[in-house]
Amino acid sequence: MTLRIAILGAGRIGQVHARAVGGNPQAKLVAVMDLYDAAAQALAEGYGAEVRSIDAIEAASDVDAVIICTPTDTHADLIERFAKTGKAIFCEKPVDLSAARVRACLETVSETDAKLMIGFNRRFDPHFGALKAAIDSGEIGDVEQVTITSRDPGLPPHEYIGVSGGIFRDMTIHDFDMARFLLSEEIVQVYATASALVDPSIRELGDYDTATVVLTTASGKQATILNSRRATYGYDQRIEVLGSKGMVQAENQRPVSIEVATADGYTRPPLHDFFMTRYVDAYAAELNAFISALNSGEPMSPDGRDGLDALRLADAALQSAKTGQAVALL
């Protein structure tokens, strides 16, 4: 059975999801909504869908699921609204910048028994998936140290930084989710050191561009996250996990794998320079997982609780970076 989907928000990430829907034989894009009508129109046309209002989508009998790609401050409201319609919901992270608001929203989700999946796309990257499978297979024994290197190619616009909730809630949040995913154990302590080395004016916005975060679990497992807003060599996305029996690493990805050797040395091209090319397979697999869970009736994963837990780690990291002290999680 084909899943009939409406996309709310026709911006960059909405386009990513539309492409995934278009390429998936089990899904069909039915409707697109965006406050900016031309954007909605352009996206809808490309996939044979209609432009509709939120109200129309809410009322539609030919829409089984919504993909929420609107600005962050609308996510919680939209989740609550569509939870009550019985439509399945896929929502981009984060649910909200306030943990309290997220909790309230998840209560509605729980009361309405709504299906909600949160867009932590990296869990579905084939390389990170193979790394997780290697852990689960027991090959490397018990997990002891996780290292996540996660660096953006360049700074986002200052306007974005103003509304993003800061580096920990906007960028590191993916890494918090990944750390939780790989550690499979409660995190009890968070330490972060952060600075504005790339662009000092970011400090004036109350944010950072360079951060190192250490997470410790109850049994003493450790995870380190290395963030920077600027990696001149591309979108640096690596994971390494040390276990009692060995180590597994997921390497960086580049568009083409050639190497040129001259008197100056051996040179490979830079990495992908954009999350959309780097994670194109992950977005496709994420949609598949959403559809599979709906078809099978199994629980969504990652779900709203995963979204909340990643946000709590982000809040703790921010507190730690500000105070210079580690933060205990209760």
Kindly report the number of other CB atoms within 10 A of residue 104's CB atom.
13
Residue (46 or 156) nearer to a second copy, CB: 46
Binding-residue total with a second copy (CB under 8 A) = 73
Q: Which stretch in 60-68, 167-175, 205-213, 291-299 sits in contact with a second copy by CB under 8 A?
A: 205-213
| Residue 120 · residue 282 · CB < 8 Å | no
Closest approach of a second copy to the CB of residue 105, in Å: 33
Residue (72 or 147) nearer to a second copy, CB: 147
Closest approach of a second copy to the CB of residue 305, in Å: 25
Closest approach of a second copy to the CB of residue 150, in Å: 12
Query: 39 vs 46, 67, 161, 199, CA distance in Å?
Result: 11, 16, 23, 32
Q: What is the DSSP letter of 237?
A: E
Closest approach of a second copy to the CB of residue 85, in Å: 30
Cα distance between residue 303 and residue 80, in whole Å: 14
Residue (82 or 279) nearer to a second copy, CB: 279
* Site for a second copy, residues 84 to 123, rule: CB under 8 A: none
Q: Which stretch in 88-96, 111-119, 129-137, 308-316 sits in contact with a second copy by CB under 8 A?
A: 129-137
* Site for a second copy, residues 166 to 185, rule: CB under 8 A: none
In sequence order, the β-bridge partners of residue 241 are 146, 248
The answer to whether residue 277 forms part of the interface with a second copy (CB under 8 A) is no
Q: Choose, by CB under 8 A, the member of 11, 26, 46, 103 that binds a second copy.
A: 46
Q: What is the CA radius of gyration of the chain?
A: 20
Closest approach of a second copy to the CB of residue 220, in Å: 3
Residue (250 or 308) nearer to a second copy, CB: 250
Cα distance between residue 129 and residue 182, in whole Å: 10
Q: Choose, by CB under 8 A, the member of 15, 172, 237, 253 that binds a second copy.
A: 253
Q: Choose, by CB under 8 A, the member of 12, 158, 268, 322 that binds a second copy.
A: 268
The answer to whether residue 220 forms part of the interface with a second copy (CB under 8 A) is yes
The answer to whether residue 136 forms part of the interface with a second copy (CB under 8 A) is no
Q: Choose, by CB under 8 A, the member of 89, 95, 134, 202 that binds a second copy.
A: 134
DSSP 205-229: TT--SEEEEEEEETT--EEEEEEES
Query: Is the preceding omega at residue 94 within 30 degrees of 0, hence cis?
Result: yes
Phi, psi of 8 (to 5 degrees): -100, 115
The answer to whether residue 71 forms part of the interface with a second copy (CB under 8 A) is no
Residues 6+ away with beta carbon under 8 Å from 101: 76, 95
Characterize the bridge pairing of strands 116-118 and 143-151.
unpaired
The answer to whether residue 237 forms part of the interface with a second copy (CB under 8 A) is no
| Residue 167 · residue 155 · CB < 8 Å | no
Phi, psi of 220 (to 5 degrees): 100, 5
Q: Choose, by CB under 8 A, the member of 144, 280, 293, 303 that binds a second copy.
A: 144
Cα distance between residue 88 and residue 118, in whole Å: 12
* Site for a second copy, residues 297 to 326, rule: CB under 8 A: 324-326
Residue (77 or 199) nearer to a second copy, CB: 199
| Residue 230 · residue 200 · CB < 8 Å | no
